[in-house]
């Protein structure tokens, strides 16, 4: 019994250490944002406790219309990219998993090949295409560019999840008169809910943190996402370190909240899939 308790305690301590290492950078941003100048540049000691009397710096950051606009643009781009990637990735993954057609292997290799190309290599040709179709300096154009990079990953993740669903379920549904769209919607999707949630998280973070396309395709500062806005915000000479940390923390929190929200659905989806399987 003592060995079992010791093993449980050791695992709990290991989890707490890993959790602390993951959370500490965010906590340090919070502490630095609330630190006065004399404490920030003091080299003799470090204060790990935040000064809540200076909490108004976050209100001042949000009061700056640019920061709120950047965050809103990032939410629109990341949300649009996630929705479009999942909407296109589900039928693409289903087709690659369940149907045999000419060139199927080539399509799979092409999806893998797209992940070998860096964004910087595609900026110039994409810029020419976007200018031809009047997609520059717009959020929907940026959503399309981000989706082009997120969709292959999403499709391959969903294909792998659908591969794990027994084909007997498809056949039983077809015997009852179910067509492929019905089978996908009523049989497959509930069982691959964890994979959909995981793919959504990947697509969201890919678009939320994307910088190269955003800084190249969007010229109007009112349309810039937070990844570009914060980078420019850091370069301003009259901006204090506390303000930079406050804006950086505001940029980080929505992504963390989305991850926690999606994680709950990953767990519930795994439970539902286990029961239905």
Q: Per residue in 100-144, pLDDT tens?
A: 888 888 888 888 888 788 888 889 999 999 999 999 999 999 999
Contact 43, 222 (CB under 8 A): no
Give the DSSP letter of residue 14. Answer: H
- Determine the average pLDDT of the residues in 142-161: 92
Q: Are the beta carbons of 155 and 89 closer than 8 angstroms?
A: yes
Who has greater pLDDT, 254 or 132?
132
Q: What is the mean pLDDT of residues 217-228?
A: 91
Q: Per-residue confidence at 270, pLDDT binned at 50, 70, 90? A: very low
Residue 207 in this model has a pLDDT that exceeds 90: yes
Least confident of 30-39, 69-78, 213-222, 245-254: 30-39
What is the reported pLDDT for 158? 92
Per-residue pLDDT at 254 exceeds 70? yes
Confidence band (pLDDT; 50, 70, 90) for 221?
confident
Residue 217 exposure: Cα atoms within 13 Å on the Cβ side: 33
For a pLDDT cut of 90, what percent of the chain falls above it?
31
Q: How many CB atoms lie within 10 A of CB 167?
A: 11
Q: What angle do CA 142, 181, 188 make, to 5 degrees?
A: 85
Q: Is the pLDDT of residue 166 over 70?
A: yes
pLDDT at 3: 59
Query: What band does 272 get if pLDDT is binned at 50, 70 and 90?
Result: very low
Mean pLDDT of the chain: 83
Segment among 191-195, 205-209, 267-271 with least mean pLDDT = 267-271
- On the question of pLDDT at 1 being above 70, the answer is no
Higher pLDDT, 275 or 70: 70
Q: Would you say residue 68 has pLDDT above 50?
A: yes
CA 182 to CA 177: how far, in whole Å? Answer: 9
The reported pLDDT for the residue numbered 204 is: 93
* Whether 153 contacts 92, CB under 8 Å: no
Share of the chain above pLDDT 70, in %: 87
């Amino acid at each position: 019994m003592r060995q079992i308790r010791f093993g449980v305690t050791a695992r709990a301590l290991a989890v707490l250490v890993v959790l602390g290492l993951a959370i500490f950078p965010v906590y340090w941003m919070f502490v630095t944002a609330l630190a006065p100048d004399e404490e920030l540049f003091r080299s003799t000691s470090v204060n790990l406790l935040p000064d809540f009397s200076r909490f108004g710096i976050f209100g001042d950051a949000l009061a700056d219309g640019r920061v709120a606009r950047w965050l809103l643009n990032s939410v629109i781009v990341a949300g649009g990219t996630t929705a479009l990637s999942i909407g296109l990735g589900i039928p693409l993954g289903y087709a690659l998993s369940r149907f045999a057609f000419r060139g199927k292997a080539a399509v799979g290799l092409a999806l893998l090949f797209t992940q070998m190309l860096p964004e910087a290599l595609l900026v110039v040709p994409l810029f020419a295409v976007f200018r031809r179709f009047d997609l520059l300096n717009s959020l929907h154009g940026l959503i399309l560019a981000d989706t082009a990079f997120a969709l292959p990953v999403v499709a391959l993740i969903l294909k792998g999840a659908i591969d794990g669903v027994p084909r007997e379920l498809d056949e039983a549904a077809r015997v009852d008169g179910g067509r492929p769209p019905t089978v996908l919607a009523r049989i497959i999707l509930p069982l691959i809910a964890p994979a959909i949630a995981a793919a959504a998280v990947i697509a969201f973070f890919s678009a939320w943190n994307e910088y190269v396309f955003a800084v190249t395709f969007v010229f109007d500062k009112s349309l810039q996402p937070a990844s570009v806005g914060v980078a420019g915000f850091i370069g301003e000479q009259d901006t204090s370190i506390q303000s930079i940390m406050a804006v950086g923390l505001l940029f980080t929190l929505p992504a963390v909240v989305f991850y926690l929200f999606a994680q709950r659905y990953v767990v519930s989806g795994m439970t539902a899939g286990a029961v239905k399987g």
